[in-house]
Amino acid sequence: MTLLQTAEQIQTMQIRGAGKIAREAVSALRDHAETLPHTGDASLFIREMEHAAGILLATRPTAVSLPNAIQMVMRDVRTARTEDAARRILREKADAFIWSSRTAIDRIAAMGANHIPDGSVIMTHCNSKAALGCILEAKRQGKDIEVYATEVRPWNQGRLTIKTLNDNEIPTTYIVDSAVRSMMKDVDLVIVGADAITVNGAVVNKIGTSQIALCASEARKNVIVTAETYKFAPRTILGELIQIEERAQNEVLPDDIAAGLPYVRVKNPVFDVTPAEYIDMIITEAGALPPHLAYTIMREYLGWGFDELQNQFLGTLTGSEFR
Ligand SMILES: O=P(O)(O)OC[C@H]1O[C@H](OP(=O)(O)O)[C@H](O)[C@@H]1O
């Protein structure tokens, strides 16, 4: 698959899920480098790769795993002295990211399963590899668990989730998104993934997550977020907001129906923000932490503290790059 095809598949959601988007983008960058002719000109190679990275970055705006992964791969490529060195660094960093991303999900699954007591009824939302990893690991350990899975309009990612749960023989109840509050009394805990986590511990995830967290808080049920460290958004340290993706109206209301309703407009934001106070714990591969320790992850694991960010970025980036 070419880099442009990967970008298109991310944009059209054939490739989806924050972690997978990052892994596929990095692998597309690595493969794209192999298609570029060897010229001996390091700066030409780096320019071409920056252009390719820009195409991938423009596909979807919210999941911060995408810019973080590209930054991890491209950071040292930019300062390589020779073309050969740039190519080698790019290959090594891309392979290392893909490997560590998969390892992170396994570690999160192991830690998350520890927080699922035997006999639990879990509610999950959307289709998160990290969240499902914890549920599947709990099942593998022999725990007797049940899951409530939401539909996740308009893309119905819940169908992917119930397929995985069913394949693993986990008793599952499938509900429409608006049934969450009614059903919360039957649930013991909520486990979801994340597309981005801000410095104040707010979690950006599939639209509807914040309602679930609110209902869980009202019913005094724990909310666990599972997120690899590359889903933390360092640039929020400087006050930047995460851009919430809005997708096409016809994903919600078909064009032929909308055409007959001239006074109706459709809004289709696909992510929302859950404030830290509704989240009990964020499980990362570096450990389980309360949301207000998000800055520690950014500093210790992503290597971006306030000073580094100021030196690196202030005044050099445009609004859209700055997230
Ligand atoms: O990385 P993993 O845990 O798989 O998924 C994280 C999140 O990415 C997904 O976004 P989308 O379906 O691509 O819009 C969902 O919001 C999900 O919770």
Give the whole-angstrom CA distance, residue 83 versus residue 100. 26
Going by CA atoms, what residue is nearest to atom 3 of ligand 1? 128
Decide: 86 and 44 in contact? Cβ < 8 Å: no
pLDDT, position 287: 96
Ligand 1 nearest-atom number relative to CA 65: 1
Of residues 126, 134, 215, 280, which has the active-site annotation?
126
Going by CA atoms, what residue is nearest to atom 18 of ligand 1? 193
Across-strand partners of 164? none
Going by CA atoms, what residue is nearest to atom 2 of ligand 1? 128
pLDDT, position 22: 97
Decide: 293 and 273 in contact? Cβ < 8 Å: no
Of residues 41, 76, 177, 195, which has the active-site annotation?
195
Q: Give pLDDT tens digits along the chain (323 positions).
A: 999 999 999 999 999 999 999 999 999 999 999 999 999 999 999 999 999 999 999 999 999 999 999 999 999 999 999 999 999 999 999 999 999 999 999 999 999 999 999 999 999 999 999 999 999 999 999 999 999 999 999 999 999 999 999 999 999 999 999 999 999 999 999 999 999 999 999 999 999 999 999 999 999 999 999 999 999 999 899 889 999 999 999 999 999 999 999 999 999 999 999 999 999 999 999 999 999 999 999 988 877 766 766 666 544 433 333 32
User: At 32, phi and psi to the nearest 5?
Assistant: -60, -40
Burial 39-74 (b: 16+ CB within 10 A, else e): eeebeebbebbeebbebbbebbbbbbbbbbbbbbbb
156: left (phi over 0), alpha (psi -120 to 50) or beta: left
Tell me how far the alpha carbon of residue 181 lies from the centroid of ligand 1, in angstroms.
22
Give the whole-angstrom CA distance, residue 208 versus residue 229. 23
Give the whole-angstrom CA distance, residue 92 versus residue 138. 34
Stated as kind and residue range, the H or E segment containing 123 is strand 121-124
Burial 238-267 (b: 16+ CB within 10 A, else e): eebebbbbeeeeeeebeeeeeeeeeeeeee
The candidate with the shortest Cα–Cα distance to 99, out of 123, 71, 124, 69, is: 69
Tell me how far the alpha carbon of residue 84 lies from the centroid of ligand 1, in angstroms.
35
Tell me how far the alpha carbon of residue 263 lies from the centroid of ligand 1, in angstroms.
33
Give the whole-angstrom CA distance, residue 279 versus residue 226. 11
Going by CA atoms, what residue is nearest to atom 16 of ligand 1? 206
Q: Is 178 annotated as a binding residue?
A: no
Q: Is 195 a catalytic residue?
A: yes
Decide: 112 and 189 in contact? Cβ < 8 Å: no
What's the token pair of residue 191? 């486990």
The one-letter amino acid at 237: I
What's the token pair of residue 148? 């409530």
Burial 165-174 (b: 16+ CB within 10 A, else e): beeeebebbb
Q: Is 16 annotated as a binding residue?
A: yes
Pocket of ligand 1, beta carbon within 6 A: 16-20, 126, 128-130, 157, 192-195, 205-206, 270
pLDDT, position 302: 79
Q: Is 126 a catalytic residue?
A: yes
Q: Is the entire prediction scored with pTM above 0.90?
A: yes
Q: Is the peptide bond before 291 cis (omega within 30 degrees of 0)?
A: no
pLDDT, position 318: 36
Give the whole-angstrom CA distance, residue 204 versus residue 193. 9
Strands 222-226 and 189-192, by their bridges, are parallel
pLDDT, position 68: 94
Instruction: Give the number of other CB atoms < 10 A from CB of residue 84.
Output: 13
pLDDT, position 134: 98
